[in-house]
Every structure is written in C-alpha cells, then in structure tokens.
C-alpha cells in the first residue's frame, strides 16, 4: 500500500507541477499522454481533479470524492467508492503565488485498486502455500524424530515383555540418556526384589528343615 501510495503522490506532484497562471486564472498544461504513466496496468483506471483557490474545478473529474489535503503540503490518502469502483485517492494541497495570484490549489488523483488487490492476493496465496509446505515438513520431521527417539524405548518394552517372571537380572539395552536413570532405577528395584526372593527362599528352606 505504501509503495502504491507513493506512486499516487508522485502522480499528484506531477500534475501540481504543471499548474500555471494565465490571465489571473489557474490552468493545467497536462497532455493526455502524461496521464498514461499514472496507471501501472491496463486493468486499473486513473482519475484526477484540479480545483482552484476557491474550490472551483479547473480540470478533471468534477465529482471525484475527497477533502482538502494537508496544509503542510503532505498528501492525504483514503479509500472511496467512485462510479461503482473502489479507488485509492491521494489529495495534495499546494500553495501558489504567481502574478498576483495567491492561495492554495488542490490536486486529487484516484486509482482503482485492482492491481494492488491482485498483488496482495498473490502474496497471500504464495505465503499460504509456503506455510502449508513448512507445516507438512515440520510434521514429517517431528514424526521421524519421535519415531527414532522412541525406538530404544520400544526395544526396552519388547525386552521386558519377553522376560520370564523368574528373571530378575538387570536390563541390558541401549536407551537414550534421558531415560537412562529410569532404567537404572528399574534395575535397582529388580536387584532388591531378587534379594528379597533369595531371603524368602532361604527362610522357607530353613523353616521346612526345622519342621
């Protein structure tokens, strides 16, 4: 929007530079060929208006919407509806003091928004496609990472399931460092349980011998 607004401002400045004073009246020496550069594409239409010191229309489209421009010479931009079209309007107010004519005149330049809307649409479509591809790649890499990361835990699960209920020896399998402490804790528990079973068997043996 800023880029297109700068083009509108440049167009308004070009028209303002062609405003002259003839016989005490404002005139615009602007050939039709000069207007062709104001339109960026053949699909867009351009409208302009130059109003005099008292608001009278010097040239251009009389019903073009818009208020006076900034008093400091800065342009005013806004969107409007004109002849059933959505247009972007730039309004520029400039002072003039030539041959006894003193005051401010206003230049308005409006352009339909077809080109900028098409460009915005292209940007949005391109950004959406890139975002979808990025999400798909991120999901694929995440799935691969989780699968590879959990593979040692899967092997540990299989090892535990295949063990006999009498086998309390420590687990020996490759696991990620993040769960190594867990495996060591399980091995410690199994060692303590094995010690308890040994003591129980010894007690049962001694008790049966005494009986």
E-assigned strand segments in the chain? 19-22, 25-28, 46-51, 57-60, 76-82, 85-98, 101-112
For residue 69, pLDDT over 60 is answered with no
For residue 178, pLDDT over 80 is answered with no
Residue 70 binned pLDDT confidence (cut-offs 50, 70, 90)? low
Distances from the Cα of 40 to the Cα of 16, 50, 55, 179, 196, angstroms: 20, 21, 29, 63, 88
Q: How far apart are CA 12 and CA 17, in angstroms?
A: 9
Q: How far apart are CA 162 and CA 165, in angstroms?
A: 9
Non-local (6+) Cβ contacts of 5 within 8 A are: 75, 77, 88, 90
pLDDT given at position 35? 61
Mean pLDDT for 28-36 is 66
**Mean pLDDT over all residues of the chain?**
83
Mean pLDDT for 117-130 is 90
Q: What is the DSSP string of 98-159?
A: ETTEEEEEEEEEEEESHHHHHHHHHHHHHHHHHHHHHHHHHHHHHHHHHHHHHHHHHHHHHH
pTM of the predicted model, to two decimals? 0.58
Higher-confidence position of 58 and 156: 58
- Determine the 3-state secondary structure of 77 from DSSP: strand
Higher-confidence position of 179 and 206: 206
Residue 31 binned pLDDT confidence (cut-offs 50, 70, 90)? low
Give the largest Cα separation in the chain, rounded. Answer: 139
């Amino acid at each position: 929007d800023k880029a297109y607004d700068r083009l509108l401002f440049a167009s308004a400045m070009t028209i303002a530079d062609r405003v002259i004073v003839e016989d005490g009246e404002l005139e615009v020496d602007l050939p039709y060929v000069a207007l062709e550069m104001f339109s960026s594409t053949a699909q867009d239409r351009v409208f302009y208006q130059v109003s005099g010191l008292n608001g009278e229309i010097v040239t251009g489209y009389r019903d073009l919407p818009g208020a006076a421009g900034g008093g400091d010479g800065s342009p005013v931009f806004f969107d409007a509806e004109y002849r059933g079209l959505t247009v972007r309007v730039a309004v520029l107010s400039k002072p003039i003091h030539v041959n006894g004519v003193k005051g401010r005149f206003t230049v308005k330049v409006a352009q339909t928004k077809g080109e900028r809307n098409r460009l915005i649409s292209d940007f949005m479509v391109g950004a959406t496609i890139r975002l979808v591809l990025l999400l798909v790649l991120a999901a694929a890499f995440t799935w691969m990472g989780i699968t590879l990361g959990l593979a040692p835990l899967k092997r540990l699960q299989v090892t535990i399931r295949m063990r006999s209920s009498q086998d309390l020896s420590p687990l020996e399998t490759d696991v990620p460092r993040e769960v190594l402490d867990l495996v060591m804790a399980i091995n410690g528990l199994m060692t303590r349980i094995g010690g308890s079973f040994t003591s129980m068997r010894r007690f049962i043996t001694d008790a049966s011998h005494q009986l």
